[in-house]
Amino acid sequence: MKLYKFCSLIMIISLTVSGCSDEFLDVEPKDRIDGTSFFSNDNEMIIGVNGVYAAQRTILSRADGGTAMLYTLFESRSDNAGSDHTDQAERVETDLFNETPGNNPIMGAWESMWSTVNLANLVIASATVAEGDQAIIARVVGEAKFIRAYTYFHMVNLWGGLPIRTEPTDDFSNTILPRSSKEDVYNVIVEDLTDAANALPESYSGGFGNEPGRATKGAALTLLGKVELQRGNKPAAETALRQVLGKYELLPDFSDIHAAGNDNTEESIYEINHNPANQTGWFIPNGFIPNNVAADLGIVAGGSSRNILGIYPTQDLVDSYDPNDKRIPGTFGIDTEGAYQGPYISKFIDLNTATAGSDINLVVLRYADVLLMLAEAIGENTEAYDLINEVRSRAGLPDIDSTSPGSFMEKVMNERRWEFAFELHRWIDLLRLPQSEVIAIMRTQLTDQQQNLFGTTYNTSLIKEERNLLYPIPQGEIDFSGGQVEQNPGF
């Protein structure tokens, strides 16, 4: 589906569905929305940004053809998780670095992300005409800019340089734009997050428009630190992250972070909200575990009957953990009795899951991330190891220092891998390594995976530097632009 079709649909549909979290306002359905004039006052601006949150939830939590869209593009792509290589061909392609510009999961992610950006643009543009409490309107704009920045951040790590759209696309006049450079996209993201940090509160007091779970100043600064780290600007990352240091705290028990109903905890900085009671339950984790495990746990719905799960932990990840690591039970389990016979993701299990989905929020920014990102930003010194060891202490692991095996970056990356497995961080983290290292890691992991699980030989030449570890731009976008949008090299 071409961009202009999706833009028009999202403006009609996204604004008329439920709010964006467990407690957010449920928006009454309407048959027609009259462009930007719909957001004519502060209350309507709040309803509008609720729709932006809902669109973001669609990106991060929706299933695409039975498989999680971003789990396919981020987690299965990495060395943390594998895909069923007997599954639908297009999902297998993204795991094997053999995708084409016509790949449907890639196209679905592209369309959903641009729809979210366009909806955020609509809210931001409406602020110029909206009446009412201008402080609320300014804050809503900050929320929309945060989500727009987060969406662009995912996109730039998936595709590289992008068309930069900061105005609503409601006709053909500004639909077709050429790709800007990766650096220019990052500049827009940084500007959005700087504005958001200045506009957003530290927390929310409750009530209509002030529900906990909305983007905060801490979320904007944390994401700003992540963005600056990703583009190699460590001093700027340090500056942003130090403003968050000490504002949150680690939960004593790692498993509580993702526990059902345990929303917006002291460690959580930003999470994607789900609530089965509001028809926004999270369905993706149901397919992470084998059917017999679900039955043993007494879960009514969910589980997978396939001998190979659609998404599963790699043996390389399982073997990398210290056996004494307290994070293991809250990260993966091992099925030894059913047809699957292997590791499965246990991080997001809701024992009360039914047909309405899980009551688990996807925590995408949390305080442990701040600690480990700050350690990476400041580089190897005593303070950096203190930050790393704060995370290791909760896991029941001994302190490390400069005399511990491995380079400093290897130690940071290992800690991040163990702490954030299956939280959509690993592939983005790997992209901060030299390209040759990422290629070597993935060639080794996929060769082992193919031989051990599927008895086939992996063509290691599929992962090559000319493709720059990016996904192809969907061919429909290139065709629709008349060639103004150029394809990534190697496709």
3-state secondary structure 154-223: HHHHHHCCCCCCCCCCCCCCCCCCCCCCHHHHHHHHHHHHHHHHHHCCCCCCCCCCCCCCCCCHHHHHHH
Encoded tokens for 105: 């999961």
pLDDT of residue 175: 77
pLDDT of residue 47: 95
d(CA 75, CA 69): 10
Cβ-based burial of 480 (10 A; exposed 0-12, middle 13-18, buried ≥19):
middle
Q: What is the pTM of this model?
A: 0.92
Q: Which residues of the chain have pLDDT under 50?
A: 1-21, 25-37, 64-67
Q: How many residues can be counted in the chain?
A: 491
Residue type, 28: E
pLDDT of residue 109: 92
Encoded tokens for 319: 């073997």
Q: Is residue 135 a contact partner of residue 46, using CB atoms and an 8 Å limit?
A: no
CB atoms within 10 A of CB 86: 12
Instruction: Give the class (CATH, top level) of 1-215.
Output: mainly alpha
d(CA 290, CA 48): 39
For the chain, the distance separating the N- and C-terminal CA atoms, rounded to the nearest angstrom, is 20
CB atoms within 10 A of CB 225: 29
pLDDT of residue 172: 59
d(CA 286, CA 283): 6
Q: Is residue 116 a contact partner of residue 91, using CB atoms and an 8 Å limit?
A: no
**What sign for the dihedral angle of Cα 167, 173, 175, 177?**
negative
Beta-sheet pairing, 268-272 with 81-83: unpaired
d(CA 382, CA 231): 25
d(CA 491, CA 260): 42
CA angle, 440 then 441 then 445, to 5°: 115
Residue with tokens 């210290």: 322
- Provide the residue ranges of all domains of the chain, joining segments of one domain with +: 1-215, 284-362
Beta-sheet pairing, 311-313 with 81-83: antiparallel
CA atoms lying within 13 Å on the CB side of residue 149: 29
Beta-sheet pairing, 362-366 with 343-345: unpaired
